[in-house]
Structure 1
């Protein structure tokens, strides 16, 4: 039974990334996700990270929501940097 609560900090932990608020903010600022690129196709993921995200999107509705939130946050950050 999976007891990890689906939220952004835990998503970063699952991906092997620093999950501190500052690190998450820095990740979002440093990694743009243009509108025409699907989150699974982003250049900044390793193969294993992309696979984990794919599994989350395809098999777990709660995690899929968090991955969608990450996708939108990365797009929003890219838009802010353009202005």
Structure 2
């Protein structure tokens, strides 16, 4: 059983992105979700990142809460 806490930093690590606080802030500042665009369909994800996010949200998996939080942070 996975007991790793599901934090924004760990989500970034799962996505293969730099997961330090500065890099996360920089990513959020430089990437925006356009109105009406689902998180997993944003053009800045690789196919594997998009698949991971879509699956997490569709299955309401452990990562869904962090994916929702990331979507909120990226929204205008």
Give me the whole-angstrom Cα distance separating, in 2, the residues matched to 1:25 and 1:10. Answer: 14
Give the aligned partner of residue 23 of structure 2. Answer: 23
Does residue 54 of structure 2 align to residue 54 of structure 1? Answer: yes
User: Which ranges of structure 1 fall in alignment gaps of 5 or more residues?
Assistant: none
- Give the TM-score normalised by structure 2: 0.90
The Cα shift of 1:3 comes to 2.6
SS at match of 2:63: helix
The Cα shift of 1:35 comes to 1.7
User: Which ranges of structure 2 fall in alignment gaps of 5 or more residues?
Assistant: none
Alpha-carbon RMSD: 1.1
- Stretches of 4+ aligned residues off by more than 3 angstroms: none
Greater Rg over alpha carbons, structure = 1
Matches within 5 A, 1:1-83: 1-59=1-59, 60=61, 62-75=62-75, 79=76
The number of residues matched between the two structures is 75
The Cα shift of 1:72 comes to 0.4
